[in-house]
């Protein structure tokens, strides 16, 4: 009886993958970080762990993001209470048809991580709804 149950579960698992021929690893926009982005080298120094300083936030999606006014928000982890707390926010304008965007230091937004710690970083739409997010560690 036990072999029949195992065989049944295996067949159900196999049937799921046969019926669902399109499987996506990521259905939402992906956020990640790099030291800088340039048109020749592309993403330089991609990681999720950096020293203090300026970083570039990358967002990639399969389809156009359909956004105009966005914000990058940092929430820093507070080890005393075990919660993420608002740290700072930067505003950007983007084109609606973009599906690959980099956010870097400019005159209005420095995108600097001054203090070591763990940060939750969000890409927010014009209504402050989360489009993408990721966690990054900043070390001394």
> What Cα–Cα distance (Å) separates residue 105 from each residue in 35, 56, 87?
11, 7, 17
The CATH number of residue 95's host domain is 2.60.40.1930
Token pair 């001394």 is found at: 140
**What does the block give as tokens for 97?**
């048809």
pLDDT tens, residue by residue, 18-67: 555 555 555 689 999 999 998 888 889 999 999 999 999 999 999 999 99
In a domain, 3, yes or no: no
Token pair 């389809």 is found at: 63
Domain that holds residue 62: 28-139
Count of the separate structural domains present in the chain: 1
pLDDT tens, residue by residue, 96-138: 999 999 999 887 788 899 999 999 999 999 999 999 999 999 9
In a domain, 110, yes or no: yes
In a domain, 14, yes or no: no
- Asked if 30 and 132 count as a contact pair (C-beta separation under 8 A), the reply is yes
In a domain, 18, yes or no: no
In a domain, 45, yes or no: yes
The confidence score (pLDDT) of residue 105 equals 87
In a domain, 81, yes or no: yes
Taking the C-alpha atoms of residue 124 and residue 132, their distance in angstroms, rounded to an integer, is: 7
> What Cα–Cα distance (Å) separates residue 16 from each residue in 22, 77, 81, 98?
11, 39, 43, 34
């Amino acid at each position: 009886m036990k072999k029949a149950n195992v065989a049944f579960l295996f067949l159900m698992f196999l049937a799921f993958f046969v019926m669902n021929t399109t499987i996506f690893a990521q259905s939402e926009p992906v956020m990640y970080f790099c030291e800088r982005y340039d048109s020749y080298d592309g993403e330089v120094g991609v990681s999720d762990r950096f020293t203090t300083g300026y970083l570039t936030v990358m967002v990639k999606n399969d389809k156009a993001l359909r956004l105009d006014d966005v914000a990058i928000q940092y929430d820093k982890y507070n080890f005393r209470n075990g919660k993420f707390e608002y740290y700072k926010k930067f505003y950007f304008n983007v084109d609606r048809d973009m599906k690959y965007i980099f956010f870097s230091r400019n005159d209005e937004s420095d995108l600097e991580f001054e203090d070591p710690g763990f940060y939750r970083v969000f890409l927010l739409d014009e209504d402050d709804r989360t489009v993408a997010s990721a966690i990054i560690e900043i070390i001394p």
